[in-house]
């Protein structure tokens, strides 16, 4: 009887350990198999699911040292790319609840495209196998506000110039405040800017456009609401 109890206890403990390992393995990190099995639609759905966990305060409890060890040994197989703002509050790995080796991330104030960024994305997709590119703007973006206000400062002037087509692209009634004091105007420019950067990626990169046309990649805009944490794809 005692032995039976001991073995039952052992089995229960073993069962718990096994299920914990299964959980840990499932969310360990992206590997070659996961990346290969991921479609562009899957990639977007996985980002949405991760953002839902972030909003709910239910981010996975990851073993980062283990992820670092695994990805350094086996290589990286990220399945998505995110172009986001420099803003310290809009961090892709956190808001999409992803670990080491899951995402390629390009960051620059105003999430604008450049030749170097395009080259990086061509590597990330055509060479390294990512299935989606998300251009993620965010609410209350200082770079967008600066562009609306025509701020000039050193090299920042050129950078903000990249956002000006979105500022000019929003039409308003005569007399409307088109400065950063108008939150609704700023939000419209932010949304249009992310969409225009998506268009720029497709216009300026033959490599990426061909992948999209073949159905191997999607390039989409999104907006991260800093106050709720929610990312809206559109």
Measured from the CB atom, the residue of 99 and 137 that comes closer to Zn ion is 137
d(CA 35, CA 130): 7
Residue 102 near residue 77 (C-beta atoms within 8 A): no
Q: Closest distance between Zn ion and the C-beta of residue 83, in Å?
A: 12
Measured from the CB atom, the residue of 87 and 102 that comes closer to Zn ion is 87
d(CA 144, CA 86): 12
Q: Closest distance between Zn ion and the C-beta of residue 99, in Å?
A: 24
Detail the DSSP E strand segments found in 121-162. Answer: 132-138
Q: Closest distance between Zn ion and the C-beta of residue 158, in Å?
A: 16
Q: Closest distance between Zn ion and the C-beta of residue 87, in Å?
A: 4
Beta carbons within 10 angstroms of residue 98's beta carbon = 27
d(CA 13, CA 220): 46
d(CA 84, CA 101): 17
Q: Which residues of the shown chain bind Zn ion in the complex (CB under 5 A)?
A: 85, 87, 141, 143
d(CA 55, CA 96): 9
Measured from the CB atom, the residue of 131 and 188 that comes closer to Zn ion is 188
Q: Closest distance between Zn ion and the C-beta of residue 100, in Å?
A: 24
Beta carbons within 10 angstroms of residue 136's beta carbon = 26
Tell the residue number behind the tokens 């999607």, with chain if given. 218
Residue 34 near residue 77 (C-beta atoms within 8 A): yes
Q: Closest distance between Zn ion and the C-beta of residue 110, in Å?
A: 6
d(CA 147, CA 157): 9
Q: Closest distance between Zn ion and the C-beta of residue 143, in Å?
A: 5
d(CA 6, CA 196): 65
What tokens does 116 get? 């170097």
């Amino acid at each position: 009887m005692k032995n039976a109890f001991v073995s039952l206890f052992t089995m229960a403990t073993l069962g718990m350990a096994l299920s914990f390992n299964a959980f840990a393995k499932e969310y360990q990190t992206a590997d070659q198999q996961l990346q290969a099995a991921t479609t562009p639609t899957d990639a977007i759905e996985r980002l949405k699911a991760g953002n839902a966990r972030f909003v709910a305060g239910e981010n996975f409890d990851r073993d980062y040292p283990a992820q670092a060890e695994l990805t350094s040994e086996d290589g990286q197989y990220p399945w998505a790319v995110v172009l986001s703002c420099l803003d310290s509050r809009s961090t892709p790995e956190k808001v999409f609840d992803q670990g080491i080796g899951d995402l390629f991330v390009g960051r620059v104030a105003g999430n604008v495209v450049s030749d170097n960024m395009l080259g990086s994305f061509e590597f990330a997709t055509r060479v390294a196998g990512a299935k989606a590119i998300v251009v993620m703007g965010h609410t209350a973006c200082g770079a967008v506000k600066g562009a609306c206000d025509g701020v000039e400062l050193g090299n920042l002037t050129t950078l903000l110039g990249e956002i000006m087509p979105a500022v000019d692209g929003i039409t308003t009634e005569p007399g409307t405040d088109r400065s950063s004091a108008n939150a609704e105007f700023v939000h419209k420019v932010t949304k249009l800017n992310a969409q225009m950067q998506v268009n720029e990626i497709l216009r300026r990169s033959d490599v990426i456009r061909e992948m999209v046309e073949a159905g191997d990649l999607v390039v989409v805009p999104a907006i991260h609401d800093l106050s709720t944490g929610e990312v809206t794809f559109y």
